[in-house]
Structure formats: C-alpha cells, structure tokens
Amino acid sequence: MKILGVSGSLRADSHNTALLRCAARHLPEGVELEVWDGLRDVPPYDEDDDVDPAPQAVAAFRAALAGADAVLFSTPEYNSSIPGQLKNAIDWVSRPFASNPLRNKPVAVIGSSTGMFGAMWAQAELRKVLAATGARVVDAELSVPKAQAHLGEGGSLAPEHDEGLAGVVSALLEETRPKVTAAA
C-alpha cells in the first residue's frame, strides 16, 4: 500500500514536510509514504492549457495521485488560508471532474504553522477544497502550533502531537483498507 505525502510548503526546511516524515514512522509494515516533490514545477492554472497532453508537471502529479492508495496533505497557513501554489496544483488535477485522480481517494489533512493555531484555517479550507474534488476526506485532524518549538531539527515531534499524528495515520489507513463486507 502506498501513501503519497503532499506538503503545501516549498521551503527547504519546511515544518510541514518534516511532519510528513514524522507520519511515515507510524506506518505499519507493507505501507510506504512517498513525499511528492513536484509542487514547485506546477505552472499557474490556465484553462487554455488544460488540454491533452497536460503540462509535464501536471501529468506527473496526476500520475503520482493515481498511483497512491491514499494521500496525506500537510499544509502551512498563509494569511489564514491555503498556500496559493498548493491550491493551484489541486485545481489542475481536479479536472476533468468525473475522472480526476482525487475522486474517491482517501485523503487526510494535517498542518503546522509558527503561529498559535497550527494552520487550522488552512486545513479547514483544504478539506473543503478536497471534498469538492470528490476525495474521501478523513474526519481526523492534527494542528501543530509553534512549529519551531514542537518540531525538532532532527525530525522529532513533541509527544502530544506525535500521538495525534498516529491517530490521523490510523484513520487514513482505516479508510483506505478494502471494506470487508459480511457474508449474507
């Protein structure tokens, strides 16, 4: 089983990318998390360019999403909302609506910021946008506030948040595993 990690930050020392790496530590045997690194290359959305073949970076994002069983987003908050480049990339892959690679895909959203509220509003908006694409948004949350205090340079996460992170990962896996239907 494969989970794609998507960080909303382009920053080399991003707390949100670090949070995805922390999430990987909670995965059971047989489940891998690959952090997508193509966000910077996605061009600005232009409906005139939304044709076949798609721009290379867009095609690569679509393929990465299609090849994943689930997606874990980790987003910073910019001015109380989703970073523009992340929203732009989701806009690209949301079309065509009926066959977009997020449709029916289990997704979870976590986030971190240097502020007091851990990107809560950005996460709420991201969940709304992902639901609009048809993704199955898991009802589990993790906000890591004061990122510089709670996310260590060596990749450590404060225990109270690490516990919450394990809970989100577990909820995402639960949503992803094939549902076993009871025999009649």
Ligand X SMILES: Cc1cc2nc3c(=O)[nH]c(=O)nc-3n(C[C@H](O)[C@H](O)[C@H](O)COP(=O)(O)O)c2cc1C
Q: Which is nearer to ligand X, 21 or 136 (CB)?
A: 21
Q: Per CB under 6 A, which of residues 95..114 are in contact with ligand X?
A: 113-114
Beta pairing partners, 160: none
Q: Which stretch binds ligand X (CB under 6 A): 7-15, 52-60, 133-141, 173-181?
A: 7-15
Contact in structure between 93 and 54 (CB atoms under 8 Å): no
**Residue 153 binding ligand X, by CB under 6 A:** no
H/E stretch holding 2: strand 2-7
| Sequence-ordered alpha helix ranges (H) in 13-158 | 15-24, 56-66, 84-93, 120-133, 147-150
Out of 6, 16, 58, 169, which residue is the one contacting ligand X (CB under 6 A)? 16
Which among 13-21, 85-93, 98-106, 134-142 is the span making contact with ligand X, rule CB under 6 A? 13-21
**Interface residues toward ligand X, by CB under 6 A:** 9, 11, 14-16, 76-80, 113-115, 117, 119, 147
